Amino acid sequence: MLKVRIGSLSLPNPVMTASGTFGYGKEYEDFVNIHKLGAIVVKGISFDPRPGNPPPRIVETACGMLNAIGLQNVGVERFIEEKLPYLRNMNCRVIVNILGDSVEEYCAITQRLNEEKGIQAIELNISCPNVKKGGVAFGTNSSMAHEVVSQVRKETSLPLIVKLSPNVTDITEMAKAAEDGGADAVSLINTLIGMAIDIHKKKPVLANTIGGLSGPAIKPVALRMVWQVADAVKIPVIGIGGISTWQDAIEFILAGASAIQVGTANFFNPRITDEIIIGIEDYLKKNKYSSVREIIGLAKN
Amino acid sequence: MLKVRIGSLSLPNPVMTASGTFGYGKEYEDFVNIHKLGAIVVKGISFDPRPGNPPPRIVETACGMLNAIGLQNVGVERFIEEKLPYLRNMNCRVIVNILGDSVEEYCAITQRLNEEKGIQAIELNISCPNVKKGGVAFGTNSSMAHEVVSQVRKETSLPLIVKLSPNVTDITEMAKAAEDGGADAVSLINTLIGMAIDIHKKKPVLANTIGGLSGPAIKPVALRMVWQVADAVKIPVIGIGGISTWQDAIEFILAGASAIQVGTANFFNPRITDEIIIGIEDYLKKNKYSSVREIIGLAKN
Amino acid sequence: MNTFQTNATVVKTEQLGPQIYRLTFSAYDIAKSAKPGQFVMLKASQGLDPLLRRPFSIHQVTEQGTLQILFKAIGKGTQYLSALKVGDVIDIVGPLGNGFDINTAGGHCLVGGGMGIAPMLYLAKEIIKGNKPVDLKIILGAQNKDEIAQLLLNFSELGVEVIHATDDGSSGHHGFVTELMEPILTNNNEKDWNIYCCGPHPMMKQVASICDKNSWNCWVSMETMMACGIGACLGCTIQGINTIQKQSQNYMHVCKDGPIFRAADIKW
Amino acid sequence: MNTFQTNATVVKTEQLGPQIYRLTFSAYDIAKSAKPGQFVMLKASQGLDPLLRRPFSIHQVTEQGTLQILFKAIGKGTQYLSALKVGDVIDIVGPLGNGFDINTAGGHCLVGGGMGIAPMLYLAKEIIKGNKPVDLKIILGAQNKDEIAQLLLNFSELGVEVIHATDDGSSGHHGFVTELMEPILTNNNEKDWNIYCCGPHPMMKQVASICDKNSWNCWVSMETMMACGIGACLGCTIQGINTIQKQSQNYMHVCKDGPIFRAADIKW
Ligand SMILES: Cc1cc2nc3c(=O)[nH]c(=O)nc-3n(C[C@H](O)[C@H](O)[C@H](O)COP(=O)(O)OP(=O)(O)OC[C@H]3O[C@@H](n4cnc5c(N)ncnc54)[C@H](O)[C@@H]3O)c2cc1C
Ligand SMILES: Cc1cc2nc3c(=O)[nH]c(=O)nc-3n(C[C@H](O)[C@H](O)[C@H](O)COP(=O)(O)OP(=O)(O)OC[C@H]3O[C@@H](n4cnc5c(N)ncnc54)[C@H](O)[C@@H]3O)c2cc1C
Ligand SMILES: Cc1cc2nc3c(=O)[nH]c(=O)nc-3n(C[C@H](O)[C@H](O)[C@H](O)COP(=O)(O)O)c2cc1C
Ligand SMILES: Cc1cc2nc3c(=O)[nH]c(=O)nc-3n(C[C@H](O)[C@H](O)[C@H](O)COP(=O)(O)O)c2cc1C
Ligand code: FES
Ligand code: FES
């Protein structure tokens, strides 16, 4: 009843965890049946380990939070050595979120991941600045996005999901660039760029000045973008942004998402993904649908 | 102590009301000393009256709301006949927010307002779609923004404020276009585009499908944009977006805003603007500043 | 100054049915200037969630300056209100809207369904106060006995005819309030009925059509989502009928132009 | 399974000072597996504001499976908690973090300032339980008498030496807790002191430096903003010292690597 397909990838249910909000899976083993999740998208992996930004890295905002973790991660080698075996052992479906400062870095990580078993898909986080092209983010320039997607596409036959940034004038243009580049699916949205100021210290709260806004606050923007992108591309759309209840998840599916990712809500309710799976199933039963696929994009009719 | 200047316009304090959230001023006379406000920005005025969108027009979201009022307004003639005399009588500082579907409409409204006394400034809402140019919004294309600003500039010697849309990849580009076009100030942000879906009806909640997201939820995005724009232009910046407490107002001023506008907060706390004026004054005293101008952009040092 | 923002103190809390609550506040200024059919906007959270105030009809006011609302706990805001205790303070804006115009000519019939019963107690008292001898009939509807039993006690104290219906037949007429109107009102020698109605949209639509057929005056209390309650946001729109004078989109605003409208002015 | 998410029922509420509260919950699983220095994350709102859970040290646990927190109401979340009543239910995650390693060798000195006193009661009890005869000194600090008077009663029941300081001199030593450490500990024949410290950052920094000077072992309980409390968000970063093995940015995470750290590992 809950089965969905993302390109060649078949998932038992449409509920995934969003990158950077579920650690490497193990962090939630006491709260959630992690092997029952649609998939776990792990914290973004770069080629080399990254220390991340200096603290403070997070601040709470109205119904949301800002983070400037700075993509701290263990790097692809240690991920494979230290984190992947556990997830493989637990029979989890693993999607590896990758990031790079250059097309070459994205490709190198992909090559390395290709050699490993137990990875179901790769999610390309294109919100990073391209250091070679003057720091403009891959995710805000459609020709750069197209370039990185098509290069990575050449490196792997794993399903390739491209994760879009919402900080653009027209997200459908970015989605189309990803589709043209050979993506099997797009996921959206990443965080909105925001900031907060400490009025006592008279300085930005985050050491990094700006950070990514996530949580329930951004849900309306995310839902609108999913709605637009679902109209613009033929590949499946994965909805992300502020999903905190099963009702939120249903909204995204009705808007055209084939699956959803839960991010910030894991922090304030570590059991939320299990609850959402149950909630979706109940909704389908009460509304007499036999499959979640029947309601994908239904609000468009 | 609270006096600020926006170009040639001198205001007793930096607290204004945001267009569309304070009616034509009179609606709040029982709650606020409206003549003591820095200024009242009235509901957006078009040349002819507009009926607005069909209902439902609003929906609550997490720490925010979506509206699709559809720019319902009485048109410039009835505004001058029915609304302006009251505000003039009350000795309020009036900023008229104007909107149009073409450069000509913006210019025609400006010409008409020019003939009237009791208007302190014009705020150009450039978030409307340009019907002549295929419906692309003036506010998301910097050359179209430049065009409309420079044409309106020719029509009036009143201070001209250009109100920017946040739904762009780079808001500083829009701000610079406004500055180049001859704006005396920029105000930001207008609403983020969002939507909500009714999972029982399986349809968008708003009759218009999409709407503008406002309220505390968007404050981090607004503050970040004000911070960026204050660095990018030399003209004063007016901060708008989710301001609900005097602390929020201080954050925007520290980020570089010379004045602020309060929007959605008027709805849930009709007395809020008075409270913010008092709060700013107290903050300045406690921190031993003699003028609000001393703290504009202070968080940048 | 006839609208107020006050921090009102809860002086009494009652649970009248499964999810039905009644709160009494001391809010002197609001109570003093209120009239039946008007509403108040309550802040229904401590923080920013839910963000917007919630509108409630004024259920009763007293000489002592207390004010009552009657509500069903159906979501976040009303659940918050249902947990308030005596002594708690709540931020309240009102009185808002236009209220019922009590017609001095003819007989009066009040039709309340569900929480649409709320404004009817206040209205009934005002009608009784102003008109002697009074020709007043009250028709109330609810889902079941539990929802209405306690409220009936309040209405029965008025000394006028009160009849009621429940959806499940557990009390009163088994069926809809609309089924009770014609039998009661058309058998009556009084021709010129003034019908005041508040309840779910389909019920009011039905009442409006019955009144239209019988040429009775009919006023209804409309509900919409509201952000401000004072005419500033233009969000609480409903569609009026299209007359020759009014253009095709005759939008009216529930908080300012209503919540009480002549049923004949509404596009149902 | 050693971390739990539970809906705990409030079984006791106390106000111990002007803004100081103590809550007792029945949370059997958490209480059973907790150790001193660990913390819990509480949902401190009904809705989404505030959004994130709030971290609190475990103040005491009982055999019966109750768990206590001690806190100061300083903002939205703690104000919400301070208004909880017996019977209210609260969503709680724990026990979290690493807790204090109780060194079996040497004497023990607990230094708690402000709400940093919270974990000290639990720690003191555990030290007393495990070590006989016990060489335990407790030094507590607060702003004034009102803030500490009631807490002192709890500590005095332990039967060990408790001394205290207040900023305004209204009770105990007039000054900082840090001023009390050396006079008490260096005059003592015990050389090998284990210092366990929790309090405001400047105080802990000072304690760390005193310990360093005297070559005492020192553990501190660090505070940062936390989103998840379980090592998932990587937001609760602090900077560790730079050693040759560790690179220049030796970031540690308070919720997983701490909240208890060896003072010598922190970049103060
Ligand atoms: C003029 C007026 C008078 C009213 N009088 C009463 C009354 O006397 N007793 C009573 O029980 N209810 C009354 N209502 C309805 C009451 O306002 C809603 O039940 C309440 O707002 C629901 O809030 P919630 O947070 O509990 O529910 P939510 O979880 O927010 O929503 C539950 C449902 O209520 C609707 N709703 C939410 N907010 C509003 C709003 N601001 N305005 C209108 N509808 C809303 C939603 O569309 C949704 O379908 C009145 C409404 C209006 C407009
Ligand atoms: C491991 C740990 C143990 C703690 N133990 C105790 C305790 O036993 N007793 C006690 O009174 N306090 C304790 N605190 C501090 C307590 O978490 C904060 O006082 C509380 O989160 C404030 O919430 P608020 O909503 O009332 O305040 P807010 O209005 O949110 O903020 C007030 C201040 O508290 C800080 N703060 C807010 N949220 C957090 C957070 N999630 N983590 C850290 N700091 C935050 C803010 O930076 C701000 O300066 C502990 C903190 C940590 C990290
Ligand atoms: C603390 C934190 C860390 C994140 N790290 C990553 C990351 O490494 N890679 C990535 O693509 N997205 C990252 N994100 C973005 C989320 O995956 C998600 O797109 C975003 O938070 C919006 O969803 P939400 O509102 O449900 O949190 C991070 C978000 C948060 C809050
Ligand atoms: C109901 C409503 C109507 C609005 N109408 C207008 C308008 O007519 N013209 C305009 O420039 N902005 C309009 N806005 C945008 C506000 O002026 C403001 O830019 C935005 O709401 C963000 O501020 P806030 O978060 O404080 O509300 C409207 C906003 C709302 C909520
Ligand atoms: S609720 Fe704002 S105009 Fe009616
Ligand atoms: S609070 Fe999330 S990693 Fe520590």
The single residue listed with the structure tokens 């997830």 is A87
Picking from C51, C80, C96, the residue at the C-terminal end of a domain is C96
Interface mutation vs chain A, best among B208, B224, B288, most A CBs within 10 Å = B224
DSSP state of A79: I
Residues D213 and D226 in one domain: no
Count of domains for chain B: 1
pLDDT at A121 over 80: yes
Residues C228 and C214 in one domain: no
Cα of C55 vs centre of ligand 1, distance in Å, is 6
Residue A197 to residue B63, Cβ atoms within 8 A: no
**Would you state the structure tokens that stand for residue D148, as one six-digit string?**
């500490």
Q: Taking a C-beta distance cutoff of 8 angstroms, is the pair A190, A164 a contact?
A: yes
Residues D152 and D44 in one domain: no
Would you name the residues of B annotated as active-site residues? 128
Q: Taking a C-beta distance cutoff of 8 angstroms, is the pair A225, A171 a contact?
A: yes
CB contact set of C119 (below 8 Å; sequence gap of 6+): C36, C37, C57, C58, C59, C100, C112, C198, C221
3-state secondary structure of D161: strand
Q: Which atom of ligand 3 is nearest to the CA of A240?
A: 23
3-state secondary structure of D210: helix
Task: Give A60: exposed, middle or buried? Use CB within 10 Å, 0-12, 13-18, 19+.
Answer: buried
Residues D39 and D84 in one domain: yes
Q: What is the least distance, in Å, from the CA of D206 to any CA of chain B?
A: 28
User: Is the peptide bond preceding residue A85 cis, with omega within 30 degrees of 0?
Assistant: no
- CATH no. for residue D23? 2.40.30.10
Residue C150 CA to residue A34 CA, distance in Å, equals: 50
Q: Which atom of ligand 2 is nearest to the CA of D53?
A: 41
Among residues A63, A92, A107, A128, the one annotated as catalytic is A128
Picking from D69, D96, D123, the residue at the C-terminal end of a domain is D96
DSSP state of A147: H
Residues D112 and D208 in one domain: yes
Residue B25 CA to residue B17 CA, distance in Å, equals: 9
Report the phi/psi class of residue A7: left, alpha or beta, with left for phi > 0 and alpha for psi in -120 to 50: left
Q: Which tens digit of pLDDT belongs to each residue from A210-221?
A: 999 999 999 999
Residue A196 CA to residue B251 CA, distance in Å, equals: 7
Which of A58, A210, A214, A226 should be mutated for ligand 3, with most atoms under 8 A from CB?
A214
pLDDT at C246 over 70: no
Does residue A275 form part of some domain?
Answer: yes
Residues C206 and C107 in one domain: yes
Helix and strand element counts for chain A (H, E): 9, 16
Please list every residue in chain C whose beta carbon sits closer than 8 Å to the beta carbon of residue D87. none
**Count of all residues that appear for chain B in the document:** 301
The single residue listed with the structure tokens 């804006």 is C93
Does residue A199 form part of some domain?
Answer: no
Q: Taking a C-beta distance cutoff of 8 angstroms, is the pair C136, C184 a contact?
A: no
Q: Which tens digit of pLDDT belongs to each residue from C103-147?
A: 878 889 999 999 999 999 999 999 998 766 778 999 999 999 999
pLDDT at C70 over 90: yes
Give me the tens of pLDDT residue by residue for chain B, a chain 301 residues long: 999 999 999 999 999 999 999 999 999 999 999 999 999 999 999 999 999 999 999 999 999 999 999 989 999 999 999 999 999 999 999 999 999 999 999 999 999 999 999 999 999 999 877 777 777 789 999 999 999 999 999 999 999 999 999 999 999 999 999 999 999 999 999 999 999 999 999 999 999 999 999 999 999 999 999 999 999 999 999 999 999 999 999 999 999 999 999 999 999 999 999 999 999 999 999 999 999 999 999 999 8
- CATH no. for residue A129? 3.20.20.70
Residues C115 and C150 in one domain: yes
- CATH no. for residue C153? 3.40.50.80
User: Chain A within 8 Å of B255 (Cβ-Cβ)?
Assistant: yes
Residues C194 and C232 in one domain: no
The single residue listed with the structure tokens 């006379």 is B29
Q: Which residue has the higher pLDDT, D92 or C107?
A: D92
Interface mutation vs chain B, best among A188, A221, A248, A283, most B CBs within 10 Å = A221
User: Chain B within 8 Å of A288 (Cβ-Cβ)?
Assistant: no
Residue A266 CA to residue C259 CA, distance in Å, equals: 42
Q: Which tens digit of pLDDT belongs to each residue from D95-118?
A: 999 999 888 788 899 999 999 999
Count of domains for chain C: 3
For D52, which of A28, A267, A270 is closest by C-beta distance? A267
Residues C30 and C109 in one domain: no
pLDDT at B59: 98
DSSP state of A124: E
Average pLDDT over residues A283-288: 98
Q: Which tens digit of pLDDT belongs to each residue from D8-19?
A: 999 999 999 999
Distance of CA A218 to the CA centre of its chain: 14
Q: What are phi and psi of B137, to 5 degrees?
A: -70, 140
Residues D151 and D204 in one domain: yes
Q: What is the least distance, in Å, from the CA of C64 to any CA of chain A?
A: 39
Tell me, using a 6 A CB cutoff, whether residue D72 lines ligand 2: yes
Provide the ipTM: 0.96
Residue D159 CA to residue C146 CA, distance in Å, equals: 59
**Would you state the structure tokens that stand for residue B156, as one six-digit string?**
């009036």
Q: Which residue segment(s) compose the domain that C158 sits in?
A: 100-221
Q: Which residue segment(s) compose the domain that A95 sits in?
A: 4-52+71-193+214-300
Residues C210 and C158 in one domain: yes
pTM above 0.80, yes or no: yes
User: Is the peptide bond preceding residue B54 cis, with omega within 30 degrees of 0?
Assistant: no
Residue B127 CA to residue B165 CA, distance in Å, equals: 6
pLDDT at A185: 98
User: Chain A within 8 Å of C76 (Cβ-Cβ)?
Assistant: no
Q: What are phi and psi of C129, to 5 degrees?
A: -60, -45
User: Chain B within 8 Å of C184 (Cβ-Cβ)?
Assistant: no
* CA-to-CA dists, residue A129 to A103, A126, B169, C197, angstroms: 11, 8, 14, 62
Q: Taking a C-beta distance cutoff of 8 angstroms, is the pair D50, D97 a contact?
A: no
The single residue listed with the structure tokens 């399986």 is B202
pLDDT at C106: 85
Cα of C143 vs centre of ligand 1, distance in Å, is 18
Q: Taking a C-beta distance cutoff of 8 angstroms, is the pair B27, C231 a contact?
A: yes
Residues D213 and D163 in one domain: yes
Does residue B220 form part of some domain?
Answer: yes
- CATH no. for residue D255? 2.10.240
